[in-house]
Amino acid sequence: MKCTKCGTENPQGSQFCQQCGARLEDEFAAQNGAGTSPSGQAAGLSEDEIAFIGVKQDYYQYSFFKMRTTNNKVSWNWCAFFVFPYWAVYRKMYKEAVIYIVGTWGLRILLNSVYPGFVIELLAGLFGNWLYMRHVDTHTIAASGMPQLEKEAYFAKFGGVSSANVWILLAITVGASIIWGIIAGMFFGFFSMLY
């Protein structure tokens, strides 16, 4: 069966394209004029996953497909590598953002080096998509038995994206840096007066 999205020839009876992860039954239905299933454009994700993810469904459809079919947790994410806490709060993964910030900050202070922080950044890039897939799975499973209106409210609260969260974290980061600078200046200024 040929995938109409990427052109890869797949074995007969395959449900997903081996190359791009598109749901082949949707492709087969489209080729034969039967329409597509409700998952439509983001084939390979369930309807609940599509509703929960919101933005960038195609990207996550491909990443999730690769991780699920290969049973591999590694899938590179540039945003997670460069700005993990901002990406995490944008995707409403608050716990992961806090752990990352505290872990990176703590290691840099304890070891007095930027290298442990870089290792954490590298790990975030490698495992960011897997963490997000876990986040999506956890919440879609939790909402699976809910009535439709309750499920929509739940997905709006825990799913999708929030640009406001990014601005809030940025304000907190800048504020904390200013406060830390003032405290450090006062501390070192006090000790310099003693000498």
Predicted confidence at residue 190, as pLDDT, reads 63
More confident residue, 113 or 173: 173
In which band, very low, low, confident or very high, does the pLDDT at 10 lie, cut at 50, 70 and 90?
Answer: confident
Tabulate helix, strand, coil % of the chain (nearest 5): 70, 0, 30
Nearest to 47 by CA among 69, 68, 26: 26
What is the per-residue pLDDT across 34-67, written as a single tens digit (0 to 9) for each? 444 444 344 478 899 999 999 998 899 989 988 9
Task: Write down the pLDDT at residue 71.
Answer: 87
pLDDT for residue 40: 39
Could you tell me if 25 and 13 are in contact, meaning their C-beta atoms sit under 8 angstroms apart? no
Nearest-Å Rg of the Cα atoms of the chain is: 22
SS3 at position 101: helix
Instruction: Place 79 in a pLDDT band, splitting at 50, 70 and 90.
Output: very high
Q: Are 81 and 121 in contact (CB under 8 A)?
A: yes
pLDDT for position 80? 95
Residue 185 — very low, low, confident or very high, per pLDDT cuts 50/70/90?
confident
**Bigger pLDDT: 181 vs 6:** 181
CB-based contacts of 89, cutoff 8 Å, min separation 6: 97, 162, 165, 166, 168, 169
What number is the average pLDDT over the span 163-175?
95
Mean pLDDT of 153-178: 95
Whole-Å CA distances, 97 to 77, 89, 128, 160 = 15, 6, 11, 16
